[in-house]
Amino acid sequence: MKKFILACYFLASVYVLTAQYIPPSQKVFTRQDTLRGSITPERAWWDLKFYHLDIVVKPSDSTIFGTNTVVYKVLNSSDIMQIDLQPPLNLLKAEQNGKSLTFTREGNVFWIHLAEKQEPGKIYSVILSYGGKPKVSRRPPWEGGITWKKDKNNLPFVASSCQGDGASLWWPCKDHMYDEPDSMLISVNVPSNLMDVSNGRLRSVVKHKKDKTTTYNWFVANPINNYGVNINIGDYVHFSEVFQGEKGALDCNYYVLRDNLEKAKIQFKQAPMMLKAFEHWFGPYPFYEDGYKLVEAPYLGMEHQSSVTYGNGFRNGYMGTDVSGSGWGEKFDFIIVHESGHEWFANSITYEDMADMWIHESFINYSENLYVEYYFGKEAGAEYVLGSRRNIRNDRPITGKYNVNNSGSGDMYYKGGSMLHTLRQIVSDDEKWRGILRGLNKEFYHQVVKGSQIENYISDKMGMNLKPLFDQYLRDIRIPVFEYYIKDKKLTFRWNNCVQGFNMPLRIFVSGVAKNITPGVRFTTIDLETENPVIVVDPNYYVASMNMTGK
């Protein structure tokens, strides 16, 4: 353990001390980026209440045709509504109260011109008819679109994935994270030799003998973000169990391809293990009303709400690999744990702007370490998170640009997880830290939030001004360096390579004895009790150190 920690500490120190701050590259944003990423006036005047997505999916020609009924409440009167739908799909018709509406297209946006007066406080609906061949994802789930594949028996195996690129890749919607429907009905018609699995609970199955198709009606009783909505179509078989959780009985349903049933029955035993660990750390599973589903998909996996997709090959690790290099990543199925953890951070607590995607990914990267700790002990959890640091690039800030649908660095995963692990060291009280994590899920239950709200909540519960810390780890690429020197039994130290005002508390070991200090950006001196002490920074803090003695 000690050798492992020292190795991680050494590598981090070497990397940081040779790195220079490099401003992030300046991407040129377009009007389409602004239309997608901002709360435009044509979005702001109406509050989304309900969707009914009713579609026919044809694997034979890779098309989707159907309607989306948008139910909304008028906040301020207006006559133009922004609806997002990306090419090559097309909006075919828009209706309100049986009357056709005119609309115009601007790239990925359709401007719907409403004919009747929209009175504030009243509820209205618009029926959007659309169709065509949606974008095919060439690299799911990292590139959005529809995946059209075949299983081993040459039957269609189809799924959606669209985080970042947007749900408007495959259905017309208000494609911004700030507004979610309170509930949703998803009706998917497929060939009768296939099954569709979507979000929420299965309300009904309607067979159509004439054209040999079947419609699956799924109802979501909770708010749901757009990219959390999914379709999964294949020759599925089903098994289930009931998890006795903090809020009672939780229905757990599993859908896998027919040939993988026996493997899934073994591998998916980790699903209730995940639920038990995360209810301990984060509080009750957020969607008891909709149940929990794990659904095999033709790609690695995604956090679709109450319909988590899985494609990790029924093996532990991340496609069989331990991303931490610590050995602990071989003890669990990465996709079951990581993607299901997003039910708490992503689906219940949802970022408003994509620039704050760290709210989803930092907490769930950190959740992997918490899962390891729950089953294998605190030391194992620390080894996992420290080992994961080898994946940090420090290439650009974790937060992206606001109002243009722009995410920050992929460091939101491993660096974000290390930031949270560092915060835990500062709290230095495991039950208090667990209370903060559970408190987040209680305070922001089923809410869309800004990153600043999460930062302020943690600052308030820790009783500290953590803004410099969040600025350092989320909005800067430098790793803070603890500089020190020893002279005449005195230790002089400061933070360097950091943002202005950075004053993060730190635990060091003085000849093996733990000592808590609070460096600032100016040198501070304290007395030591021993001659020629050995100073070691606690490696659980994501920092580097430099001994300046003798320089």
In whole numbers, what is the pLDDT of the chain averaged over residues? 95
Distances (CA, A) of 447 to 98, 162, 380, 525: 34, 20, 33, 46
How far the first Cα of the chain sits from its last, in Å, is 32
* Over residues 85-114, mean pLDDT: 98
Distance CA 491, CA 306 (A): 54
Token pair belonging to 217 = 């009606």
Residues in a beta bridge with 482: 495, 545
* pLDDT attached to residue 241: 98
Contacts of 209 (CB under 8 A, 6+ apart): none
* Mean pLDDT to the nearest integer, 223-228: 98
Q: Quick one: which of 166, 164, 184 has its CA closest to 175?
A: 166
pLDDT at 532: 86
Model pLDDT, residue 529: 86
- Over the stretch 468-501, which tens digit does the pLDDT of each residue have? 999 999 999 999 999 999 998 999 999 999 999 9
Residue 453 backbone dihedrals phi, psi, to 5 degrees: -65, -40
Confidence of residue 197 (pLDDT cuts 50, 70, 90): very high
- Residue 183: its pLDDT value, please? 98
Residues 6+ apart with CB under 8 A from 421: 366, 369, 382, 385, 540, 542
Q: Is it the case that residue 1 has pLDDT exceeding 60?
A: no
Residue 9: pLDDT over 50: no
Q: Which domains does the chain have, with CATH numbers?
A: 2-29+341-474 (1.10.390.10), 481-547 (2.60.40)
Distance CA 78, CA 86 (A): 24
Average pLDDT for 529-541: 93
pLDDT in tens, 255-297: 999 999 999 999 999 999 999 999 999 999 999 999 999 999 9
- Band (550; pLDDT cuts 50, 70, 90): low
Cα–Cα distance for residue pair 214/194, rounded to 1 Å: 8
| Res. 325: pLDDT tops 90 | yes
Which parts of 330-473 are beta strand (E)?
Answer: 349-351, 447-449
Q: Residue 10: its pLDDT value, please?
A: 41
